[in-house]
Amino acid sequence: MLHAAAMLLGLFLIWLAATQSSASAVDISTAAGAALVCTLVMSRAGGAGAAFARAPRALYVAAMHAPAVVAGALATIRAAMAADVTLNPALMRIKTRSNGVERAAFAHLLSATPGMMVVETDADGYLVHVTNEADIDAAELGRLERMVGAQYKDARR
């Protein structure tokens, strides 16, 4: 119910801001009517769903992983500028204990890491292409998977 009220208020304010007319009672009632119709349609269509509620958690996990992504990007730039590019590309199998939303979030974070790209997923884990096999830290990957799992633990219930 709280989501519906927030949606109703938000749509009402967006309508007023978009039309830039809130001087008369007709403008305000039109905005309220449009917001009410949109809210009713969304409630009948299933609304935004649980994924909408989990978006802040995904943003938090991505923000916690950002320093590692930036450090990897800077190391890649530094190596390219120094012409000291010694790559050892490989396809690696990464086994995972996560499932559902956790699995998708973890795959996204792996692909966001410089030098890694998830190529395929299956029931056991991921097939990941890496540009330098020696730079992969299994402990860091385990920590990242635990962090994702901790953020999504109530989504499994």
Q: Mean of the per-residue pLDDT values for the chain?
A: 79
40-44, 45-49, 85-89, 130-134: range with lowest mean pLDDT: 45-49
Average pLDDT over residues 8-24: 80
Amino acid at 79: A
87-102 pLDDT tens trace: 788 899 988 888 877 8
Tell which wins on pLDDT, 105 or 58: 105
Q: Looking at the structure, do residues 102 and 134 belong to the same domain, yes or no?
A: yes
Q: Looking at the structure, do residues 96 and 62 belong to the same domain, yes or no?
A: yes
Residue 91 backbone zone (phi > 0: left; psi -120 to 50: alpha; other: beta)? beta
The total of structural domains in the chain comes to 2
Contact criterion met (CB below 8 Å) for 42 and 48: yes
Q: Looking at the structure, do residues 61 and 82 belong to the same domain, yes or no?
A: yes
Q: Looking at the structure, do residues 86 and 121 belong to the same domain, yes or no?
A: yes
Instruction: Print the domain residue range for 38.
Output: 2-44
Q: Looking at the structure, do residues 57 and 36 belong to the same domain, yes or no?
A: no
Q: Looking at the structure, do residues 92 and 132 belong to the same domain, yes or no?
A: yes
CA–CA gap between residue 81 and residue 18 (Å, rounded): 47
Q: Looking at the structure, do residues 59 and 40 belong to the same domain, yes or no?
A: no
Q: Looking at the structure, do residues 71 and 105 belong to the same domain, yes or no?
A: yes
Contact criterion met (CB below 8 Å) for 125 and 94: yes
Tell which wins on pLDDT, 51 or 123: 123
Residue 52 has pLDDT above 60, yes or no: no
Percent of the chain with pLDDT strictly greater than 70: 85
